[in-house]
Every structure is written in C-alpha cells, then in structure tokens.
Chains A and B, each alone.
Chain A
Amino acid sequence: MAATDTSHPDYFHKVVDCQWACPAHTDVPEYIRLIAQGRFTDAYLVNRRSNVFPGILGRVCDRPCEPACRRGRVEEKPVAICRLKRVAADHKDEFRDRLPAVPAQKNGKRIACIGAGCASLTVANDLMPLGYEVTIFEQFAVAGGLMRTNIPSFRLPGSVIDEEIAAIVDMGVDLKLGHRIESMRKLLEEGGFDAVFVGSGAPKGKELNLPGRQEGGANIHIGITWLESIAFEHIKTVGENVLIIGVGNTAMDCCRSSLRLGAKSVKVMARKPRQFFKASEWELEDAEAESVEIVINRSPKSFVVEGGKLKGMMFDVMEYEVDARGRITAEHVTAEEFLPADDVILAIGQENAFPWIERDLGIEFDKWEVPKVDPVTHESTRKGVFFGGDAAFGPKNIIWSVEHGHQAAISIHQHCMDKPVAERLPPGVNLQSRKMGMHEWSYNNDYSGIERRLVPHVSLKERFKKIDIEVELGFTAEQAAAEVQRCLNCDVQTVFDAKLCIECDACIDICPVDCLTMTPDGDEADLRTRLKAPAKNITQALYVSAPLKHTGRVMVKDEDVCVHCGLCAERCPTAAWDMQKSWVKWPHAADQPAAAPVAATQEASR
C-alpha cells in the first residue's frame, strides 16, 4: 500500500479522535494539559477559539468527542472531556483583555444577524474583530436563544450564559432585543446591510394530532414552548401526574422540569425499546436518578377527556421484531393501556419555520419548507444571505451551531471583500517535537490507569427546592487533577522517518499495546490481517512507511489503540520515531487571506 501521506492535514487530525469528532475541532488534549498545569485561563481560551462558549458547553454540550475518545477503546470509559471544559471555565481569571482587539475604525460593512442564539453570536464574535458592524435582531427581551429559553436553568445557570454572551456583545455588537423580524423583504430592501445571517433556529414544536387533542388542549403542551414559558416564568406549576410523549433530550428536560414544578409522578412514554432512544445516555441516567419512569413500547392512541378535562391517554402496547443487525422488521399491537394524566407534554421533535421570509426573494425552499443552503459556505440561493445553526439544516445542537457560525462568518467576510465565498483557506497541521533530552519529553507520557471520575451532584433532597439549583457541582480540584491524567495526549503524534530506521525491533518490542509491525508490504486489507495485533477497527488508519533500508519491509502502525506513551521514540536508537505535538489549523474568518481590513488573529497564548 502506498506510504501514508502525513502531510495531508487530515491525517494527524484524525488521530486526535476527540478533535476530529468535535464539529468545531476544539484542541481537547491541549486544553486538558493546560488544566493539568493549573493554567485555567489559557485552557479556557484554547476552548473559546474553537467553541466560543466553553462555560455553556462544559455543562450542556452534546459531546460527540466523548464516544470518539481513544480512551474508550483502550479501557471502558472515555475521558470526561466535557466536564473538564467546565473546570477551565469555572476557574479561569479575567480573560477579556486577551480576546482579539476590536478596531475602532470600522471597515464600513454592515451585517445583520437574525436571532440572538449561539449561531448568530458566533458570527458576531468572528466578524467584530475584523472591523464589521454587526446588528443582531432578537424577538425576545433576552439573548441566548434556546440556551436561554429551553435548556433548563438546573442544567445551565443564566449567569453562565450572561457572561459568555457579554464577552461578545461588549465587542460593540448592536443587539436589538424585543425586535422580531417580520419581513425579510423589508430587511433586505431597507436595512442597508451588506450581508444577512439567518440564525433564527428551529422554533416549531411538532404536533400530535390524535382524538381529544382539541378538547384536552388546556393541559396538553408542546414541549419547547412549555419550557420557554417556564424560563420566562409564565408557567410555574404542573399537575401531579405528568406524561411526557417522546424520549429525546427535550423530553428529558420536560420530565425533570415537571418534577421541579410539583409533579409527583412523571412518566416518559417511548414508542420503542431503549436501544432506539434519541436521548443521550447521560441525560437518561440523570432523569432516572430523579425517579422519572421511562415506559417503553407504548404508542400514543388518543387523549382521554371527560367533561372537558384531560384525564389521561390511551396507548397501544407494542411488540417489535428486530433482525440481527438491530433493525426493526415488524411491529405488532398486543394490547391497549390507559394511563391517567393531569398534564401531557409533547416532546416529539422540532422543525424550522420561516413565515417571515417571503418566497419571491430568490431564497429557495425545498418541498419540506427547508431552505436550500450550501453545506460548506452556508449561502442560500440568494447571494449575501446565509443560514446557520438550527435554521440551516434543522435542529442539531449548540456546538454544530457554533461551527456553522464560524463557517458562515468566513463566507460573509469573503462576500464583503468581493471574493468568491467558496474560496476558503484549507485546514493545515503544524508539528513540533516534544523531545527535550535523554529520556525527557515535554509532555506527561505516563499512562495513568485511573478510572473516570464522577461529577458530584446536589443531593436529591436539596435539588428540587428551587427550579434553578444547578444539579451538577463540577469536579473537585482532586477529581480534576486525576481526570486530566486519563487523557492519552493523542495530539502528541508518533512521527516516523523510514530513512533512519535500522530495523532493530526495539520499538515493536516495547510498544505496550502492540501497535507496531515491520512486515512485507501489501494492500491495506491484507496488511490489516498480518499485524502484531490484527487491525480490526477500520475507522482507524494504518500509518505505513516508505520501504525500509535494510530489508525493504515497511513499518506499519495501527493508530487504533496507541496510548501515545512515547516508548517507541524513547527506545529507538536512531530517533526514527519521534513524538511531535500537532496543531490543527482550522481556519476562521480572521485567518482568511482575504486581506482583512484590520486583521487581528485570535490566538490563545501557549
């Protein structure tokens, strides 16, 4: 197989599984090392460069990085990446003076952002330091979008949102609160903006039109609207018996909110068995810890209303046939069941809705009323109008919205500088050796066998007393100090120079996890079966060298479970292996060569 082209920026980036999985490509191992050194502000800034809201995300991120974490393949549980982010945010010092400076002299370009959610805020964060004048229009009297109105304060305190939004708004953003955009035409024609970013989210909760829906309407609520009313304190109580329909993350927030509004019995009703649930495992655990009952195989049939008052719901009891690959092949109704309820909350999904965008502006929508948006540039079919966050491709999560914001900001910058929006700086990687001297490496390469630490929670007795008591307390100092040691430093890469190798086998013999093999070359499928430990995880690359000098064999490294201990490099007599830190350069608007009028790069101090 051809020697691996490690100059391709994706190669080493992929080795850092968490960074690759993070939509915003946060340099996770770097910030974890900074936390280990007690450099919390630096760790915060490394985060902020990529994900903009480390304090928020350190509490509520969907954390796609954690299932990807290599530690989860080496032992059972991944590193608590997300909770360590919170450690950085909780312990940071003043950081605002280290954000990129915003020029007093503006570049004369005006940008409108619709909605003050995380997507629009990211656009403002990226464009303000380049001299743009950014106006954000928000229909509500507060900024933050769903982070504010839907994610309950017992998971995400308002003060954390306030601080991170202020860091952006205080750059000089013109935030127009209580200002709903009712007509896109008007904004485009009269607003005088050079570009418009639509970050209005996916605000429409899905309906469940079953018999009794109208009659029982007073006690049947749409989940996201209901949560919003709680956030704005329009709703302060709920009945004793509550049924939640649906088992996604919104359902989890609804059931836990119900308990805090006085419900005595809360059941989450799922149509299918647990392996088909959409909610994250940790959200399910948190709900179950609070005695929420999750009932499987119940398909809603009708709302039961007596004398104009909701009494409960009728369900079909379901049975499923599942094939070897875990897919449902058939379903049967085996019985009917009535469950009493004072209130029912529908948490079965959200959709985009753009009643305020006229359909003759050149902004095209598909047959599901979803806007046609370029997945890379985020531009709509009308030049100068961009979509991001939940508004672009339907509901996702905060970290995706942030990355959309970054990408849209690049496009807006290109657009305003009269450059093609598709012309974007490609990603890159820098490498730097971590060798300090004999047996000395400038990273902590000792493997720590310690197990994942558990975040302490407020006791079950205390937490329901008020609706905004944050349940998670965050790691203690001791826990954080232990947890950081679990990170394998996957960004400290094993880099091989075939010219130097004398084929002594030292690296192969010392590697604790049998990653390395010297063997006659072959195609990838064949090589994978001939390694010291068969390389069965095909999502992980083989690092194949050029032919070796003495025998013409190749050095093959299976990246899968390398613990980055550095022993191969430590043992190599000729330094054919070296341990080198990779810096993934994931470009943002400030990095574009579009000759930023007043460019200031946002670089965390290292």
Chain B
Amino acid sequence: MTYIPKPKIAHPSLPRNELGLTRRDYEGSLSTLCAGCGHDSITAAIIEASWGISLRPENLVKLSGIGCSSKTTAYFVGGAHGFNSVHGRMPSIAMGANAANRDLYYIGISGDGDSLSIGLGQFCHAIRRNLDMLYIIENNGVYGLTKGQFSASADIGTKAKKGEVNQQPPIDPVLLAMNLGAGFVARSFSGDKKQLVPLIQAGLEYPGFALIDVLSPCVTFNDHEGSTKSYQFTREHYEPVVEADFVPFQREISTDYGAGEAVPVMLHDGSRVVLRKLAEDYDPTDAHAAYDYVQQHIAKGEYLTGLLHCRPTTDTEFHALNRTPEQPLNQLPFGKLVPGAKALDKVLARYR
C-alpha cells in the first residue's frame, strides 16, 4: 500500500468520454492493498472500462463481501453506490437491490474465498437465479486478507509460502457457472488489460448473470515458486482462446473481423460482443462443447482465457421470472408502494 495519495494532476491530453469525464473521474479512494497486488490492476481495468462506455457513476452499484478483493469496491468509481456485505453474502444483497431497481448497473466484486469457500451456496444461487449483474471473482488461490491460507480454488500440488502443499481438489468457478447455466462465462488475468477491459464492458451490458473469473496474483502470500497462481506461473500457463470485443450500439462493427471467424452476440440495447476464436475446434456459444473443452485443458494444466461461453439471449431473465416491477421502487408513487391495510386484507383473504 501507499500513504501518498495520487495527486490531482493528469496528463494534459487526457481524453474525455461522452459525459465529458476523464478516466481520473472514475477513480475511487486510495488503495490500501499491497503494492503489486493483482486486485489493483483489476480496479484499474474497471475504471478504464466504465469510462470507456461512459457509464454514469450514479448508475452503478458496487457490491462486495469480505477479503482484500472485496475491499476494492472503494477504489473505483467513487461516485457510485456501494454495499460491503458480510463474508460470502454479497449475492443476497445484490439480489435485493436488483429486484428493487432494475435500471442500475450491478457489479459484484468477490474473492475465491468469499465466493468458493464460505459463500459457495450464495454464489450458486445467484447464477441459478440469473441475477442481472457482473460478478467478478478476483482469484488468487488464497485468503489474502487473513494472511494466505489456501482457498477453495487452490490447485492440487500448489505450495503455500511456508512450503505446505495443497492436497484438496479445487473448485473451478468457470466450470461451475457453465454447469449451473450461466449465459456469460469468462476467465481473464489481472495482467492483461487488453483482454479484461472489453470483457468487463460486455459483462456490464450483458442482460443476465455475467461471470469473470480473473486470475489475480497475491503478491504477498502467493507469488513464490511452487505456486500455481503466481505472476510467472500464470503467464506461462494461460492461453487466450477467444477474444471478445465490446461494440457499443452506435458504432458499426469494423470490417477487420473477417466473416466466419467473428461471431457477434447481440445484447439487449443493440450493442454487441464480437467473439473471435483463436482455437479452431472451439465453439464458445455452445455451453456443452465449451464445458468439455475448458475441462480438458484444465486437466492439462492450462488456463484458457477469454469469453469462454456466451449465449445470445437469456431464456430465464431474472426480472421476468420474478415479475419484479419495471419501475424502481424508489420511483413508485407512495400509494402503489404501500397499498395500505385494505390491500393487505385482500391478500390475506386469499389464504383464508
């Protein structure tokens, strides 16, 4: 961490987005994470991505649980709403907020401990319910905040800082999410903003549950030799298989995407995600095929990255299924929001 705040001075030619804001306007407070933590790079990617799609800060809701990763919601888009829940319970809060106001963008930041250890149940149900949110797991294989114990994503054989070897099998959030029917499943790496920024933009715009599992080295407790989540190991074993480009709806798809290899996936507002396969034998739009492909590579010790699975539309849209009101609750007229004793009597009468 640093005690020296980033000065309020910027490059004179810093570009402005459609709202007239610069990237610096999307920053949050000073990070207290360890210098070199992957999570800080993900924060920078979120800043870049939100700036790039001209997101209105007041239209964003940041949610998180507990962990170094979960702390990072304070470090981006200072003007957004936020809620730090208890450990592993962020999805419950997200669901409540989402049901109450479907007009906002929801971004959940979690860790591998927060989502795959204590919060696994909540994580699964968030997927099952197809919450309309972007869910980012900042995955470092350890509980960073509590000083580096193995988390549920630690690989068999990986070594802790003091030499202990992990023997329990890992839970892979990407496979789990595909298994549970998620329509947008991606993996990326904190050190690859070129890949990560468009993924975040697409995930924010995606109508439904979007998961990005971001390998994010813990520079303090899990960046040594023998770790399978270090910077070096990740760089040696990660392999991009699909490139995703987010295309806002105003812009035309540029012609550099040769037809055939480029698969555009339309989003609800007319934007699209353009998938470009880097591996020929891979179909990211077919959930079963994608699952098999990813699993085979995990068995070989390779982390495939990119938008590994993306379905054009979601058949089980959260708000439709749950018949949530179209108008945010805080905008409903009082009489409609609180219909009074007579209306309650009517409801109760149904059960008499």
Contacts and interface: CB of A to CB of B under 8 A. Distances in A.
Contacts of A445: 4
A512 B9 contact: yes
A567 interface: yes
Interface string A507-549: 0111011110000000000000000011010000000000000
Interface string B32-47: 0011111011011000
Given A449-B9, A563-B9, A573 B34 contact: yes
B208 interface: no
Given A509-B41, A574-B36, A503 B3 contact: no
Interface stretch (B11-19, B84-92, B138-146): B11-19
A174 interface: no
A504 B10 contact: no
B13 A506 contact: no
A571 B191 contact: no
Nearest to B24: A512
A422 interface: no
Given A505-B193, A506-B36, A509-B43, A573 B219 contact: yes
A179 B36 CA distance: 71
Contacts of B38: 504
Given A447-B9, A503-B191, A504-B41, A571 B36 contact: yes
A561 interface: yes
A205 interface: no
A508 B47 CA distance: 13
Given A504-B41, A505-B41, A447 B191 contact: no
A513 B36 contact: no
B34 to A, nearest CB: 7
B351 to A, nearest CB: 56
B231 A513 contact: no
Contacts of A512: 6-10, 24
A502 B7 contact: no
A513 B217 contact: no
A567 B4 contact: yes
Given A439-B4, A447-B9, A573-B219, A506 B231 contact: no
Interface in B250-299: none
A446 interface: yes
A508 B41 CA distance: 9
Nearest to A448: B7
Interface in B90-119: none
A42 interface: no
A555 to B, nearest CB: 13
Nearest to A511: B6
Interface string A552-577: 00000000010101110011111000
B68 to A, nearest CB: 14
A509 B235 CA distance: 19
A74 interface: yes
A74 B36 CA distance: 27
Q: How large is the interface on A (under 10, 10 to 19, 20 to 34, 35 or more residues)?
A: 35 or more
B330 interface: no
Nearest to B15: A533
B331 interface: no
Contacts of B4: 439, 445-446, 565-567, 570
B223 interface: yes
Given A446-B7, A512-B7, A573 B2 contact: no
Interface in B283-318: none
B36 A573 contact: yes
Contacts of B73: none
Interface SS of A by simple majority: loop
A73 interface: yes
Contacts of B228: none
A504 B13 contact: no
Contact of A509 (B3, B44, B219): B44
A325 interface: no
Nearest to B30: A510
A550 interface: yes
Nearest to B235: A550
A449 B7 CA distance: 9
Contact of A502 (B10, B44, B193, B223): B223
B190 interface: yes
A572 B6 contact: no
Given A533-B11, A563-B7, A570-B2, A550 B232 contact: yes
Interface in A224-266: none
A561 B7 contact: no
Interface string B174-201: 0000000000000000110100000000
Nearest to B223: A502
A565 B7 contact: yes
Interface in A400-453: 439, 445-447, 449
B10 A571 contact: no
Contacts of A565: 4, 7
A601 interface: no
Contact of B231 (A502, A508, A563): A502
B232 to A, nearest CB: 6
A530 to B, nearest CB: 12
Interface in B15-68: 24, 34-38, 40-41, 43-44
Contacts of B35: 506, 570-573
B18 to A, nearest CB: 20
Contacts of B24: 512
B194 to A, nearest CB: 10
A551 interface: yes
Contacts of B2: 439, 510, 567, 570-571
A513 to B, nearest CB: 5
A570 B190 CA distance: 20
Nearest to A74: B9
B6 A510 contact: yes
Nearest to A73: B12
B41 A561 contact: no
A502 B230 CA distance: 10
Contact of A561 (B3, B11, B43, B219): B11
Most buried by A among B36, B37, B232: B36
Contacts of B36: 502, 504, 506, 571-574
Contact of A551 (B6, B37, B235): B235
Contacts of A570: 2, 4, 35
A561 B191 CA distance: 25
Given A74-B9, A533-B11, A509 B40 contact: yes
A551 B24 CA distance: 28
B41 A533 contact: no
Contacts of A447: 7-9
Contacts of B223: 502
Contact of B9 (A439, A513, A533, A536): A513
Interface string B210-229: 00000001010001000000
A513 B11 contact: yes
A73 B24 CA distance: 19
Nearest to A561: B11
Nearest to B38: A504
A573 B41 CA distance: 13
Nearest to A506: B36
A447 B10 CA distance: 11
A561 B10 CA distance: 9
A97 B116 CA distance: 73
B300 to A, nearest CB: 21
10 contacts: A449-B7, A502-B231, A505-B191, A508-B44, A509-B40, A536-B13, A550-B235, A551-B235, A566-B4, A572-B36
Interface of A: 73-75, 439, 445-447, 449, 502-506, 508-510, 512-515, 533-534, 536, 550-551, 561, 563, 565-567, 570-574
Given A512-B9, A565-B7, A573-B35, 13 more contacts: A74-B9, A439-B2, A439-B4, A447-B7, A504-B38, A505-B190, A505-B191, A506-B40, A509-B44, A510-B6, A513-B9, A563-B9, A574-B36
Closest 7 CB pairs of A and B: A573-B36, A447-B7, A509-B44, A505-B41, A504-B36, A533-B11, A513-B11
